[in-house]
Chain A
Amino acid sequence: MWAFVLFIAVTIVTYVIFYAIPANPARLACGQRATAECIKRAAHYLGTDRPLYVQYGKFFGRLMPVAGLGPNNFSPHFKTPNLGRSFTNRLTVNSVVLNAAPVTASLVFGGAVFWMLIALPVGILSALRPRSLLDRIAMVFVLVGISAHPVWIGLLLAYFLGFKAGVFPITGYCDFINPSGNCGGPVQWAYHLVLPWATFAFLFAALYVRMIRANVMEALGEDYVRTARAKGAPEWLVMRSHVLRNALLPVVTMLGMDIGIALGGAIFTESVFGLPGLGKTAIQAIENFDLPTTQGVVVFATLCIILLTLVVDLLYAWIDPRIRLT
């Protein structure tokens, strides 16, 4: 319910912003030598000559999966939601988004795995050994990670590891499944994404190290952990069953929300490493005043975030009995 309201609000806001910008996509479509005739034709063709609410209504109608009731008035007639066509290259926005989505998904989810792989062990170990050398190094890492901007880190990594050392490719994307030329398949995919992942994961890894460390330390001080020790439980069992299970509960929620936020953060990383993902698509579309494409990315991203939130809520209810039963 809320998700639906949110969804409508986001799309309307995008429309209004575009309307407010003093730029005419029809004029752009006609190129340098725009005649009044051409602009008018283009405007009609693109639909920008209609009032704002009509444009939005049409957009919304295309998007709905139900296209009215069927002939017998009982079974609804389904169709694929349609995001319209791009103003600039007349490709369907559906295909643009669907082409870009896997790239961003690879980046974001790969990045999430990357940052959790760093954050979990570092966070837990530094919680177990507060003030040790490892803990101090981790804290410095956290400080740097939180203060540094991803673009700067990305450029730094690209320069030293990519350009100077030549260990990893600086740009380009290889498809996970369909090999094209010598670039493709899981290995190439991962190889090309190492730098973007690292860049992307840096900030979040830092945040998560700090969060996991704090959570684990808090859980270690809980009475039930003392109870478990008083039962005679060995330390590994205390950790696994009593400390981590409770300490990582909030991490799950955070992870869900942060992946949503990370979709936004992907814009920087994608532009640094030239990845043809959603972020880059959105930037290009905005530069060209390409409303349908921008709107498509917005719609898709909103849907993803809503879905993620839902998944996280369900997951949380599943792992935390206190929520499940209330």
Chain B
Amino acid sequence: MAAPEKEMLRQTQLELKGDELLVVEDLQKYFPVTRGIIFQKEVASVKAVDGVSFAVREGETLGVVGESGCGKSTMARCIMKLLEPTAGSIKFRGQDITKLSRAEMRPFRREMMMIFQDPYASLNPRKRVGFIVAEALQVHKLGTEAEIKRRVQELLEVVGLNPEHYNRFPHEFSGGQRQRIGVARALAVNPKLIVCDEPVSALDVSVQAQILNLLKDLQRDFGLTYIFIAHDLNVVRHISDRVMVMYLGQVSETADRNDLYKEPKHPYTGALLSAVPVPDPTVGRHRKRIVLEGDVPSPINPPSGCRFHPRCPRFVEGHCDVEEPALIHRGGAVGHTAKCHYPLERWPMTEEEMARPGVASTAAETA
């Protein structure tokens, strides 16, 4: 393949409408694998995030799904500038924040907050809840001592905690309540964007529902924008407007929520959807799961061509393992893109249909 064409493949054409809060283009994060004690030699790199592009509009929720090791958390940390991206650009409100120094980042830190997965580990056990929530306010010098205290109590109330519990320590709260503290902390400085990294994965279903409802209410009340990362497809579907599926550091499909779940185009998305157990015995029992073979390959040496090809039920030899598919429009819906040579014709699909890919549609045809 000629070099310019390859370049075109990597750069997905993002259709920007102008109201995007965050635009990420061709983001890469490689972690070096080194050998040697004194003279560290880079022998390989873990391509945790390898060319991810997407945009998030103000007020929407972008769901990011993928299995462990697909790079979704690394991506989140790059967006938050907790990790330095290897390449690519991150624009917040049209301003490139990729190369900003710590000091220059400070005003942006107020606008982007993060909620973490583990409500046990992400709160300092030796600090009182009031302090934890107030910390960002104090860092950004937002108000006097008394004002901050009032604000913190207000926040605790907003997230459904008793404002009287201002002086308690994190260990005095249950898992769900701790996640509420995490939410209050993120809300403290009135951010625009909240990146939620698996915020409900560690919680029981009944508590999970409480937190999901809370996040939805807050979005409505404060006009928040979410990037919601999770491995649970049910949860992502529930909360997202748009969904992005990641596999081995790349985007394999993006679409509006309903399009993605009703008409997945990428075989990997299909496999994910069919793997989710349905809590309905009449449906669940007679449905055939598309069971993928093997494990996710190592991101140190990702497979050639399409990264999904070794596990793909529609694998076409000589094509999928040679040529990397582009992330291009698939299906009728606006903004539905998939990175596959042989996208799914319909959904749901039988195993036989799955294994019989139709004629390859080239990028030129669909574009």
Check: A2 CB closer than 8 A to any chain B CB: yes
Check: A1 CB closer than 8 A to any chain B CB: yes
Q: Which residues of B contact A1 (CB under 8 A)?
A: 37-38
Measured CA separation A2–B38 after assembly (Å): 9
**B: interface residue count bin:** under 10
Measured CA separation A2–B39 after assembly (Å): 12
Q: Which residues of A contact B38 (CB under 8 A)?
A: 1
Residues of A within 8 A of B (CB): 1-2
Measured CA separation A318–B284 after assembly (Å): 49
Q: Which residues of A contact B37 (CB under 8 A)?
A: 1-2
Residues 37-90 of B contacting A (Cβ, < 8 Å): 37-38
Chain B contact residues: helix, strand, loop or mixed: loop
3 contacts between A and B (CB under 8 A): A1-B37, A1-B38, A2-B37
Q: Which residues of B contact A2 (CB under 8 A)?
A: 37
Q: Which partner residue on chain A sits nearest B38 by CB separation?
A: A1
Chain B nearest CB from A267 CB (Å) reads 32
Q: Which partner residue on chain B sits nearest A2 by CB separation?
A: B37
Measured CA separation A2–B37 after assembly (Å): 9
Chain B nearest CB from A302 CB (Å) reads 20
Measured CA separation A40–B37 after assembly (Å): 48
Measured CA separation A1–B39 after assembly (Å): 12
Measured CA separation A45–B235 after assembly (Å): 86
Chain B nearest CB from A272 CB (Å) reads 41
Chain B nearest CB from A173 CB (Å) reads 41
Q: Which partner residue on chain B sits nearest A5 by CB separation?
A: B38
Measured CA separation A77–B38 after assembly (Å): 31
Measured CA separation A1–B37 after assembly (Å): 10
Residues 345-364 of B contacting A (Cβ, < 8 Å): none
Chain B nearest CB from A1 CB (Å) reads 7
Q: What are the 3 A-B residue pairs with the smallest beta carbon separation, nearest first?
A: A1-B38, A2-B37, A1-B37
Measured CA separation A1–B38 after assembly (Å): 9
Measured CA separation A182–B37 after assembly (Å): 54
Per-residue interface assignment for chain B, residues 105 to 126, with 1 indicating a CB less than 8 Å from any chain A CB and 0 otherwise: 0000000000000000000000
Chain A nearest CB from B184 CB (Å) reads 34
Measured CA separation A169–B38 after assembly (Å): 51
Measured CA separation A290–B60 after assembly (Å): 79
Chain A nearest CB from B29 CB (Å) reads 23
Measured CA separation A150–B151 after assembly (Å): 58
Chain A nearest CB from B112 CB (Å) reads 37
Chain A nearest CB from B44 CB (Å) reads 14
Per-residue interface assignment for chain B, residues 12 to 47, with 1 indicating a CB less than 8 Å from any chain A CB and 0 otherwise: 000000000000000000000000011000000000
Chain B nearest CB from A323 CB (Å) reads 15
Measured CA separation A107–B179 after assembly (Å): 57
Chain A nearest CB from B40 CB (Å) reads 14
Measured CA separation A2–B36 after assembly (Å): 12
Measured CA separation A317–B37 after assembly (Å): 17
Residues 82-108 of B contacting A (Cβ, < 8 Å): none
Measured CA separation A168–B38 after assembly (Å): 52
Measured CA separation A4–B293 after assembly (Å): 51
Measured CA separation A61–B108 after assembly (Å): 62
Chain A nearest CB from B45 CB (Å) reads 18
Chain B nearest CB from A265 CB (Å) reads 30
Chain A nearest CB from B310 CB (Å) reads 24
Measured CA separation A256–B281 after assembly (Å): 60
Measured CA separation A122–B38 after assembly (Å): 42
Chain A nearest CB from B39 CB (Å) reads 10
Chain B nearest CB from A117 CB (Å) reads 37
Measured CA separation A11–B142 after assembly (Å): 57
Chain A nearest CB from B102 CB (Å) reads 34
